[in-house]
Amino acid sequence: MSLVVFPFKREDPGNLLKNVKIASAHPRVEEVLCVGFEEDDCFRTLAAAAPKLSKEQGKPVKVMVQERLGELRPGKGDGMNTALRYFLEETDHQRLHFYDADIVSFSEEWITKAEEAADQGYDVVRHYFPRASTDAMITWFITRTGFALLWPKSVLPWIEQPLGGELLLTREAARGLLADHRVRRQSDWGIDTLYTFSMVKQGFSLYETYMGVGKLHKLYGALTDLKTMLVECFAAIQSLRGIELTELSTHQVEFPGPVPPEVKEKLGYDLERTLPLLCRDWTPEEEDLLALFPPEVRAGMEACRSFPKFSFMDEEAWRGAYEVLLDNFQLGQPHWESLLFRLWVARTLNYTAQHALRGYDHALYYLHQMIWRYARLGLRR
């Protein structure tokens, strides 16, 4: 039997309550836990509703504030690790499910499909779903790119949504993750990268189950909203560099279904609000950092100071830039964070203009082929 966990921070309590009810009504679920960042309004609403819900459903529904477990910015990582610890130390449930609190398209099917794959013997089940061609720009250009360049022979580059927050862990997999000191340390947005890396490093078997309904959830406007996430996801990859993978993880992916027109036609971000980010607020210190980059990247970014440019940031230029970033990027250093963000914006715009504009099928094919090329080529050195 299973525990379902929703980590949350300033969410709409109505939607979260609805998801909690769906989870606790599922026959496989014995308990539901919501782990909040702090005692915000959402937390208070949930805490007030929990006793009644527990009674109605005949199963515990709990709400708690996350503990300070890690060493980086206190964020989603502390939330998820608090839940891992609770699951292992306070319960004897066999499986743990994580779902984002803001999913609007949540249903019992998310739980059922994960349980079915776990019944087949998989240690970890990860949900994946169709995404717009201009969504998931951190996943493609930071995480999957990094996995392909650094661990090309592992299953890591081929995991569809390595940053996904929807997954099932068996007790053994949960124990393995919590025992990894790098996982416990990762209190920020890097947690999803660390869970993914650690489960592969420990050789757990993975199944990716396909949710055709997609994940409807809160969306971003300009790419600026994603800066903290971007910086922390890159730093997470950087911190793992040099670790060798020796265990062999098995990895099965459910064949995807047809992609709904809403997803194919959706725009992932606001182009007009994103373009000025290339030009705005350069500091002399940030400009100096460009000296470390390959000539085409340096020249292109220098030109951006007066006008948005991105045609230079193709796949090969990004590979060169990524390598320099792996060697030199410093988390917490504002000039580096700003430059990493700008380089990634240029890469995202380049891809949008060169590939996403040609249509959904072309774009997704391109992205998968790009990962394959990166895995073949590896780092330049």
Ligand X SMILES: Nc1nc2c(ncn2[C@@H]2O[C@H](COP(=O)(O)OP(=O)(O)O)[C@@H](O)[C@H]2O)c(=O)[nH]1
Contact 358, 352 (CB under 8 A): no
Residue 3 binds to ligand X (criterion: CB under 6 A): no
Minimum distance from CB of 228 to Mg ion (Å)? 14
Best CA proximity match to 173, nearest among 196, 151, 143? 196
Choices 1-9, 127-135, 299-307, 327-335; region in contact with ligand X by CB under 6 A? 1-9
**Could you say which of 37, 128, 141, 151 contacts ligand X (CB under 6 A)?**
37
Residue 85 binds to ligand X (criterion: CB under 6 A): no
Minimum distance from CB of 239 to ligand X (Å)? 19
**Could you say which of 102, 166, 208, 315 contacts Mg ion (CB under 5 A)?**
102
User: In the range 192-251, which residues lie near ligand X by CB under 6 A?
Assistant: 217-218
Best CA proximity match to 200, nearest among 177, 228, 224? 177
Handedness of CA 366, 368, 370, 372 (dihedral sign): negative
Residue with smaller CB distance to Mg ion, 28 or 76: 76
Contact 132, 266 (CB under 8 A): yes
Closest residue by beta carbon to ligand X: 79
Partner in contact with 208, chosen from Mg ion, ligand X, none, beta carbon below 5 to 8 Å by kind: none
Residue with smaller CB distance to ligand X, 68 or 358: 68
Minimum distance from CB of 291 to ligand X (Å)? 34
User: In the range 52-71, which residues lie near ligand X by CB under 6 A?
Assistant: 66
Strand order through the sheet with 206-210 = 61-65, 29-36, 2-8, 95-98, 167-170, 124-128, 206-210, 251-253
Which residue matches tokens 């890469």?
A: 347
Residue with smaller CB distance to Mg ion, 30 or 135: 135
Which residue matches tokens 């998801």?
A: 19
Choices 56-64, 90-98, 176-184, 209-217; region in contact with Mg ion by CB under 5 A? 209-217
Residue 9 binds to Mg ion (criterion: CB under 5 A): no
Contact 369, 143 (CB under 8 A): no
Residue 135 binds to Mg ion (criterion: CB under 5 A): no
Other Cβ atoms less than 10 A from the Cβ of 261: the count is 9
SS3 375: helix
DSSP string for residues in 156-194? GGG-S-TT-S-EEEEHHHHHHHHT-HHHHH--STTHHHH
**Could you say which of 13, 17, 26, 36 contacts ligand X (CB under 6 A)?**
36
DSSP H or E stretch at residue 35: strand 29-36
Minimum distance from CB of 65 to ligand X (Å)? 8
Residues engaged in binding ligand X (CB under 6 A): 7-9, 11, 35-37, 66, 75-76, 79, 100-102, 165, 217-218
Residues engaged in binding Mg ion (CB under 5 A): 102, 217-218
